[in-house]
């Protein structure tokens, strides 16, 4: 059974910030992360094709327990249905666009948009850590925290509480989609809002 590769960018990562406007792809030879729209339920197939062409990609998955009449089974579900992330130089996008089931690149105001490295890193670390990851309604405002212990150390997101447990919400602003990961409240610390003055 094919298991899509989780790619972690080999560049340094800036601290997480929430962007109100997606970054646009500059004319550069440095690979950037882009989101591609794919046909419904074709995300894993596109990942296989990208793998075959040796194109760096990221397809985040989560485990979901499904109930049938006679059995229960855990299956891998796509966290962002309809999208796959690719790490390419924009001028070399044609091999991606010519793949079966690829519809288009996600644009912003008619120009190619870039997914920030830190958003990809945060979700890839969460997906690979074995921590419970689930889709979450898109969220941009709330109590921002930074993880200070464990595999998610230095990852920032918004802390929410559900059923008596704490979850860290991570967002891909370009897609207006979010995911949440279960965390211990003792493992996070508040992130001061911009312009907040520290007391002496």
pLDDT tens-digit map of 31-71:
999 999 999 999 999 999 999 999 999 999 998 888 777 78
61 and 101, same domain (yes or no): yes
β 61-67/72-78 pair status: antiparallel
pLDDT higher than 60, residue 16: no
More confident residue, 189 or 14: 189
144 and 111, same domain (yes or no): no
pLDDT at 163: 84
96 and 169, same domain (yes or no): no
pLDDT at 4: 38
Confidence of residue 181 (pLDDT cuts 50, 70, 90): very high
Can you say whether residue 119 is alpha, beta or left, with left for phi > 0 and alpha for psi between -120 and 50 degrees? alpha
Q: What residue numbers bound the domain in which 58 lies?
A: 29-65+74-115
Residue 129 lies in a domain: yes
126 and 87, same domain (yes or no): no
DSSP string across 125-174: HHHHTT--EEEE-----S-EEEE-SSTTTT-EEEEEEETTEEEEEEEETT
Mean pLDDT of 179-200: 78
110 and 165, same domain (yes or no): no
Sign of CA dihedral 177, 171, 194, 196: positive
CA distance readout (Å), 123 to 73, 134, 147, 196: 24, 11, 13, 27
Mean pLDDT of 120-136: 88
133 and 146, same domain (yes or no): yes
pLDDT tens-digit map of 72-110:
888 899 999 999 999 999 999 999 999 999 999 999 888
Confidence of residue 17 (pLDDT cuts 50, 70, 90): very low
Q: How far apart are the first and last CA of the chain?
A: 57
Query: What pTM did the predictor assign?
Result: 0.80
Residue 81 lies in a domain: yes
Read off the DSSP letter of residue 200: -
pLDDT at 18: 33
């Amino acid at each position: 059974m094919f298991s899509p590769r989780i790619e972690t960018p080999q560049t340094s990562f800036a601290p997480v910030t929430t962007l109100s406007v997606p970054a646009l792809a500059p004319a550069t030879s440095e690979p950037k992360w882009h989101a591609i729209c794919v046909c419904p339920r074709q995300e894993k197939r596109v990942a296989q094709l990208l793998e075959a062409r040796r194109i760096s990609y990221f397809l985040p998955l989560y485990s979901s327990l499904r109930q049938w009449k006679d059995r229960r089974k855990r299956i891998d579900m796509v966290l962002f249905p309809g999208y796959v992330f690719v790490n390419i130089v924009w001028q070399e996008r044609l091999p991606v666009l010519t793949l079966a089931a690829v519809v288009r690149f996600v644009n912003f105001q008619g120009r190619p948009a870039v997914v920030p490295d830190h958003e990809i890193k945060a979700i890839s670390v969460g997906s690979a850590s074995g921590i419970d990851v689930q889709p979450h309604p898109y969220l941009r405002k709330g109590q921002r925290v930074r993880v200070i212990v464990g595999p998610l150390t230095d990852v920032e997101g918004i802390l929410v509480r559900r059923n008596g447990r704490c979850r860290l919400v991570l967002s891909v602003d370009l897609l207006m989609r979010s995911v949440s990961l279960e965390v211990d409240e003792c493992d996070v610390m508040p992130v001061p809002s911009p312009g907040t003055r520290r007391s002496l």
